[in-house]
Amino acid sequence: MNQENIFDKQRRIIYHELMQIGLEQQECWTEANLILEHVTGIKHAQQIISDLDHFKADWLHEITRIINSRRQRMPLAYCLGEVEFAGLSFRIIPGVLIPRPDTETLVQAVIDRLCMGGVGSIRNARNHWREHGDTRQDCRGGLHPPAFESHVSANRFAGVTGDIAEIGIGCGAIAISLLKRLPECTVWACDISETAITTTLGNARRHNVHDRLTLVHGDWKKVLPHNLNVVVSNPPYLPLSLQQDMQSALQPEVTFEPKSALFDGSEDGLGFYRQFAEKLPAHFAGAHAAPLQGNELSTPFAAFEIGDKQERSVSDIFKQSDWQDLSIARDIHGLPRVLTTSPPDINF
């Protein structure tokens, strides 16, 4: 029988501390592993074979600080000061929305559609997965993409060009993930939060993509440029009713995140989609004025994350405004997560 080493003992201590907070069992083990790796800088695989016989005093002090913050139900990402998204690490601070794994679907949907020429790319992607046997069955029996490819490789997408705009930048997870994978693309991004802009700039410099990223502080309706190829956004989509009953309806951790990044102020949470459907088409006006060559995008499009059970409502909003080629991408759980669509008055 293998003897428990110092990391195993500390992991078990952290686990029991987190259990007392009221977290789920699996969540406690996951967080215990993340805390140990973050504090010590030693990966789990190396911890298993470590012969270290004591923990440094500053490690123990930092673990105590993190657990005390978690007792207040501060999200672990804020406690650690970083979060992993799409295979990359991002610095995160209170006041900036924490990116969720489901949002990786938005990054993948943009890449899929860019690499397959715009029109029908999600449909073509599904055919590609069928042909190559790389599919998953969701609980409804439908096909959906495999998990997001965490290995970041820009070589695969060399030659793919486009001017991308992101509305609501957060910590920069979406924009920077796209820039790391699409070396010939640029991103223009805006946010109403100065904290978000500052955080994103730091993360962009950290990942060496700041020279292809333009950041603007302001309301997108006033600052968004024209002649764009792609618009991407993970907008606030929680209904106002949840904000009014936030403590009981949502996890306590959510109360630490900026409300402006979660709630759009409408009763149904669909306010941003209505604004997008109405106002965004003008910003694509010059993007398809002339035929494009090579791997350039022939049909501009937009991609939006959508909330649970919003698939039909959001799709109807864009259909009623004559947007075209609507497609839905499912997340790793098989749930509708991303709507991609092309603006009206485009000749296919």
What are the domain boundaries of the chain? Answer: 6-72, 101-342
Residue-wise pLDDT for 157-175, tens only, equals 666 667 899 999 999 999 9
Per DSSP, the residues of 30-68 read HHHHHHHHHHH---HHHHHT----S--HHHHHHHHHHHH
Pairing of strands 324-330, 213-217: unpaired
Strand, helix or coil at 229? Answer: coil
Residue count (the chain):
348
Q: Do domains 6-72 and 101-342 have the same CATH topology?
A: no
Supply the pTM of this predicted model.
Answer: 0.83
Query: In CATH, what is the architecture of 101-342?
Result: 3-Layer(aba) Sandwich (3.40)
Residue-wise pLDDT for 228-280, tens only, equals 989 999 999 887 767 666 555 567 788 788 787 887 767 788 999 999 999 99
The CA distance from 132 to 49, in Å, is: 38
The CA distance from 127 to 68, in Å, is: 50
Q: How crowded is residue 319: how many other Cβ atoms within 10 Å of its Cβ?
A: 13
Q: What are the C-alpha distances in Å from 283 to residues 107, 241, 289, 306?
A: 21, 32, 12, 21
pLDDT for 75 beyond 60: yes
Q: How crowded is residue 28: how many other Cβ atoms within 10 Å of its Cβ?
A: 20
Region of residue 235 (phi > 0: left; psi between -120 and 50: alpha; otherwise: beta): beta
Q: How wide is the angle at C-alpha 127 spanned by C-alphas 124 and 129, nearest 5°? A: 110
Q: What are the C-alpha distances in Å from 287 to residues 53, 223, 290?
A: 62, 17, 8
Span 285-302, average pLDDT: 56
Domain 6-72 has what CATH class?
Answer: mainly alpha
Q: Which two tokens stand for residue 99?
A: 């990116």
Span 67-96, average pLDDT: 95
